[in-house]
Structure 1
């Protein structure tokens, strides 16, 4: 299988000298296309910093992130933004839906922002609404939905552009256990049916086990990667 994400010698710190706070310390790993990987560790271990660095949202002090053969930190801001929009779908703990837009309009927002024709995505929209089980809620607004339903809208929004990668940061952290399980099962379905590579960050052992591989972080370092121990 092809490597779709390669993280090499990645370090991120804040401050300097005696006030230096190391968030990531010489991180190395790669992810193959189609994998579902969980990055797990306690709060403050560097999980989210790593995810944001992979997304190009937080620039490391050292190292590189190569996505689909492109070293993202060699791109200028405009090209990085365009690359990210075409390659990556984001899902966060808080759903970040636009309150005055309907479910359908929220899902199609990335298409509108990319300047593409919404009418060209009619079939994709129907497919994704069915996938996340929200066809009957398409004209509802976020305030009319449960937390789990709102997170399913954010997942649909992440998938509508057919990204190669989904990055999820504590996607179930704001949900009850039943709704959280529904979201994780949906991740597995998207991963298997659409072949989208999923990288999720979680502090929960139970959530991490939905991935086929677990990378464990502690104090900014990888301490275990599935069968590999560092």
Structure 2
């Protein structure tokens, strides 16, 4: 049985949100619906959606702010903005934040579904380049999973997956601490540095079954992944 694609839909309009949710579910999508940006961010962190459909004008946290926060920890998840704002500057801002598509209200469900499928196809092509062998582990970056010897699978958090991805991309080289802190945490202050150290410890534990894999602390500079 094919697993349904899980979408996170953030739409403050109760009626519109329910209509879009039910329409997508009839096309075999699994939809997590939220009516404000704060709840949407919570669900993004716990539900592991494969695509986001975000209303721009929402209470508590608007769609652009939400997208900025998600892009700080996740470079890959597709984002479609829904908005009644039609000024070119708004469209430009949406794409500059990291949106992949922009649909103006009112819109047809068929158009939304076509755009979703197109984005998912493009993402699927990109995913094939981000399944990486690390010693006896297979690292599926888009799914945020580590599999040991094609048997045991461990789920990573968004930040763990992105940190490991950057370590792998710089394998056998020092990954500059300040650069990666600014990219993934948005700052390289003391508290972010301590947070990164915690994530490094977690990754070491999840990679410990292969003793040839080391994440070395290069004091004063950063970390180095060796295999």
TM-score, L = length of structure 2: 0.30
Higher helix share: 2
Relative contact order, higher structure (CA 8 A, sep 6+)? 1
Larger Rg: 2
Higher strand share: 1
TM-score, L = length of structure 1: 0.29
